Chain A
Amino acid sequence: MNIVQSPLTLIMTIKSPDDFAQLSGLLTKIQSAPPEQNPIWVALTKLKTVHFARFVFLANNTQLAVITTYDGDFDKYINDFIDTIGDVFNALLAHMQGAPPLPVQQNRDAFLAYVKQNDLRGLDPFYSAYPQASVVTILDALNQG
């Protein structure tokens, strides 16, 4: 079956305990802000290709995972993605080992390559309760489009 959604399981390796401390502070600050002041929330609300997104520290705080379910082809929407949420990734990637050159806005191919290289996706099959419903379709059905 054709599923319009895809999994992103981006695992980024943190440079050092100091970098973890700074990242943790940064993400706590961002995520505790009200939605309209949370740049991640604002960006994803505009982007309308991401169903769910969460950040998780893994492996004894040496890795940061960005786990999302998104619509369509990541490559195709890379420019729109960067234009909407690029600055958040600039802030995160500054603390990552093997990060692509920054800012991501000026290094688009390298950012895409980095995401592809560090995206574990998931073991197939990817389950979806509503395989044909994109974010825009769901919002429209809920009259929130």
Chain B
Amino acid sequence: MVPLDDVQGLILRSYGMDCAALFLLRVQDPAAARRTLGSLPVTAGTLWQEKPAFCVNVAFTIQGLAALGVSPASLNSFPQDFAAGAFSRCAEVGDIGPCSAENWDYGLGQPGLHALVLLFAQSPDVREAQTALLRQTLVSSGAWSEVATLPGDVLPGNVAHFGYRDGFSQPTVDCGLENPFPDKQPVAPAGEFLLGYPSQFDQFSYPVPVPDELGRNGSFMVLRILEQDCAAFDALLNQSEQRYGIEGELLAAKIMGRWRNGTPLSISPSSDSPVPPLATSDLNQYDYVPSDAIPDAFNDHRGVRCPIGAHMRRANPRGSTIAGDGGSRHRIVRRGIPYGPPYDSSKPNDGIKRGLLGLFIGVSIKDQFEFLMSEWMNGSTFAPGIYGTTDPILGNSAEGENTFVIPRDNSTPLVISHFPRLITTRGSAYTFLPSITGLRFIANLP
């Protein structure tokens, strides 16, 4: 049994809050910094009677653990991917060209970040009030210095910056919590997302960093600051009909694998408003090919409904035929919130930065986040028909341009070359989310 009260809540569920602030911190005074950890109101995974006004979680880089006084023996027991840090794993992730670490903001391109304190709030007022309190506790006391504080806000209509509704598909973790968007994919064992339990791999549990108090019930989280080029996306859709002979809204759906309102192409290939309408709880009940769980699924092995290279089919191929047969063994928990105001198409070059503060959680950064980025987002040999292409949303290429292939019924595929880069990595960090016990352990270090 997973002790929900000992696990940071963010790992196992989405809080569904409209505002966030991410504090990027450095240890200033180790003893004082440890003391502040003991007083932070950290949110655990325990079920709520009533939704709180705000939630707080905290994560550390390897440099942060060291600065707080965690012993060398303990630091050496953490996995190499986490210890290396995001800035030295750009090749694995595909952060090349303008996405490479040397171009990252907030100093994230070098070791320097120690901790992330994540504040989620129900309203801007609550965020402001709690931000002030957190600053007082953490920074004014001289314990920590503030590298940056990044606000995030849910956009009107609950969409991300390119206008897609998001967050439907999350793994269902075997921990006693329900998935708000149930699916028929295999339930993920707790050890796929928490240290100390059997993992998704046969007879295998990931080693728990020592001491057990620090490592058990912890997890790893990758922060990604992903700047979105809304003007380029807008232009792509506006010119789509004329340049490629495909209606802009359909192109948007082909890129993602869902219509922008969330309706999956696999269920409704020609309209975002199928009749009868889909219930919200049905938005995640599909597969790309007939499977044991969904035997009557349309056999879309060629991608005529949902392209094989569509973002969400790459990110989670479900029952599709893929190299390695590991479609359900490289899942990640996705949390995130947009930053920047909504894009106004009448002011395409307003100079305002917009994007996503993405948080990607799993028990192994290498086998989940990095595998997904290198093999499925930026790779092109794991599935048929996409050779030489990368993901249309997140993919990267040395040339900065991509190719997107849209298979069609009874016709040759539509191949869109010179597909523009839509997202640029502005920063990343590999962090460890200790359990509540682990946080207490750090707070009490001598």
Contacts and interface: CB of A to CB of B under 8 A. Distances in A.
Interface of A: 4, 46-49, 71-73, 76-77, 79-84, 86, 103, 105-106, 108, 132-137, 139-141, 145
Interface residues on B, range: 20 to 34
A136 B321 contact: yes
Interface string B230-243: 00000000000000
A45 to B, nearest CB: 9
Contacts of B321: 48, 136, 139-140, 145
B168 to A, nearest CB: 26
A76 B329 CA distance: 13
24 contacts: A4-B381, A47-B324, A47-B325, A48-B321, A49-B324, A71-B323, A76-B371, A76-B374, A80-B324, A80-B325, A82-B201, A82-B202, A105-B204, A106-B204, A133-B387, A134-B323, A136-B323, A136-B381, A136-B382, A136-B384, A137-B381, A137-B384, A137-B387, A141-B384
A133 B374 CA distance: 18
Contacts of A139: 321, 384
Contacts of A4: 381, 387
Residue from A46, A49, A81 whose CB has the most chain B CB atoms within 10 Å: A49
Nearest to A50: B323
Contacts of B374: 73, 76
Interface string B195-222: 0000001111000000000000000000
In the A-B complex, the 4 residue pairs with the closest CB atoms:
A140-B384, A80-B324, A105-B203, A80-B326
A106 B207 CA distance: 10
Given A76-B371, A105-B201, A140-B321, 17 more contacts: A4-B381, A48-B325, A49-B324, A72-B375, A76-B374, A79-B326, A79-B367, A83-B202, A103-B203, A105-B203, A132-B388, A135-B323, A136-B321, A136-B382, A137-B381, A137-B384, A140-B301
